[in-house]
Structure 1
Amino acid sequence: MKPTLFCLFGVLLGLNWMNGQTVRELQDAAASFRASLNASQIEKVQFAFSDTQRVRWTNLPVGLAPRPGLTYGSLSETSKIQLHRFLTTLLSSQGYLKITSIMRLDDILNQVYDEAIKRNLVPEAEIEVIKGLNWGFDNYYLAFWGHPANDRVWGFRLEGHHISLNLSVVDDYYSVTPLFLGTDPAEVEITTYAGLRVLSKEEDYGFDLIHSLSAEQQAVATISKDTPQDIITNPDAPQRLTSYQGIKGSDLTPVQRALLEDLIGEYIHNLEHMKAHFYLDLLNTSGVENIYFAWIGSYEPHLPHYYVIHSPDFIIEFDNVGFQNNANHIHSIWREKGNDFGEDLLRKHYADHKH
Structure 2
Amino acid sequence: MTTGEQDTAAAMAEAATAWLDTLDRDQAASGTGDGPRGDDAERRRWFYTPTDHGGLTLHDQAPAQQQRAMRLVASGLSEAGFATVAAVMGLENVLDRNQGWPERPYRERFRDPGLYYLRVFGDPASGTWGWRFGGHHVSLNNLVVDGRVVATTPCFLGTNPAGTPLLGGGTSRPLGPTEDLGREIVRGLPPELLDRAVLLETAPPDLVTANRAVVGPGDRPLPTSAIRRESPPGPVEPVPGTEEVELTDAPQGVPASVLDDRGRELLRRLLSSYLDRVPAAVSPAARYEDDAALDEVHLAWAGPLEPGRPHYYRLQGPQLLLEWDNTQDDANHAHSVWRNPASDFGLDVLGQHAAREQNGGSGPS
Q: Quick one: which amino acid aligns to residue 234 of structure 1?
A: A
Match 2:346 to one of 342, 346, 349: 342
Matched residue SS, 1:54: coil
Structure 1 residues 309-336: Cα deviation after superposition (integer angstroms, max 9, x where no partner): 00112100000001x4x11111110001
**Paired residues of 1:173 and 1:345 also in contact (CA < 8 A):** no
Structure 1 residues 109-156: Cα deviation after superposition (integer angstroms, max 9, x where no partner): 112223xx8xxxxxxxxx54699682211011111111112x222111
Matched residue SS, 1:139: coil
Deviation at 1:185, TM superposition (A): 1.0
Match 1:87 to one of 51, 61, 73: 73
Match 1:211 to one of 177, 187, 192: 187
Indicate whether 1:74 and 2:63 are aligned: no
Indicate whether 1:318 and 2:343 are aligned: no
What is the rounded CA distance, in whole Å, between the counterparts of 1:171 and 1:192 in structure 2? 51
Q: Quick one: which amino acid aligns to residue 205 of structure 2?
A: Q
Q: Which runs of 5+ in 2 are unaligned?
A: 217-246, 360-365
Deviation at 1:193, TM superposition (A): 11
Structure 1 residues 86-120: Cα deviation after superposition (integer angstroms, max 9, x where no partner): 22221111100111111111111112223xx8xxx
Structure 1 residues 226-279: Cα deviation after superposition (integer angstroms, max 9, x where no partner): 211111111248423322100011111121111111100111111112112x44
Matched residue SS, 2:91: helix
Q: Which runs of 5+ in 1 are unaligned?
A: 1-14, 118-126
What is the rounded CA distance, in whole Å, between the counterparts of 1:272 and 1:193 in structure 2? 33
Q: Which residue of 1 aligns with 2:47?
A: 58
Matched residue SS, 2:209: coil
Q: Quick one: which amino acid aligns to residue 181 of structure 2?
A: Y
Indicate whether 1:171 and 2:178 are aligned: no
What is the rounded CA distance, in whole Å, between the counterparts of 1:270 and 1:108 in structure 2? 23
Matched residue SS, 1:104: helix
Matched residue SS, 1:32: helix
Identity of aligned residues (%): 30
Structure 1 residues 146-170: Cα deviation after superposition (integer angstroms, max 9, x where no partner): 1112x22211111111111111111
Matched residue SS, 2:7: helix
Q: Which residue of 1 aligns with 2:30?
A: 44
Q: Quick one: which amino acid aligns to residue 266 of structure 1?
A: S
Deviation at 1:201, TM superposition (A): 0.8
Q: Which residue of 2 aligns with 1:288?
A: 294
TM-score by length of 2: 0.82
Deviation at 1:59, TM superposition (A): 0.8
- Residues 47-196 of structure 1 correspond to what in structure 2 (within 5 A)? 47-49=33-35, 50=37, 51-62=40-51, 66-114=52-100, 127-128=102-103, 134-149=110-125, 151-174=126-149, 175-188=151-164, 195-196=171-172
Q: Which residue of 2 aligns with 1:7?
A: none
Q: How large is the RMSD of aligned CA atoms in angstroms? A: 2.4
Indicate whether 1:222 and 2:198 are aligned: yes
Structure 1 residues 282, 350: CA separation in 2 closer, same or farther (over 3 Å shift)? farther
What is the rounded CA distance, in whole Å, between the counterparts of 1:306 and 1:299 in structure 2? 10
Q: Which residue of 2 aligns with 1:255?
A: 262
What is the rounded CA distance, in whole Å, between the counterparts of 1:351 and 1:236 in structure 2? 26
Q: Quick one: which amino acid aligns to residue 84 of structure 1?
A: M
**Count of residues in Structure 1 that have an aligned counterpart in Structure 2:** 323
What is the rounded CA distance, in whole Å, between the counterparts of 2:265 and 2:291 in structure 1? 16
Structure 1 residues 130, 245: CA separation in 2 closer, same or farther (over 3 Å shift)? farther
**Paired residues of 2:276 and 2:285 also in contact (CA < 8 A):** no
Q: Which residue of 2 aligns with 1:5?
A: none
Deviation at 1:283, TM superposition (A): 6.1
What is the rounded CA distance, in whole Å, between the counterparts of 1:144 and 1:224 in structure 2? 41
**Paired residues of 2:69 and 2:118 also in contact (CA < 8 A):** no
TM-score by length of 1: 0.84
- Residues 271-286 of structure 1 correspond to what in structure 2 (within 5 A)? 271-276=278-283, 278-281=284-287, 284=290
**Paired residues of 2:166 and 2:172 also in contact (CA < 8 A):** no
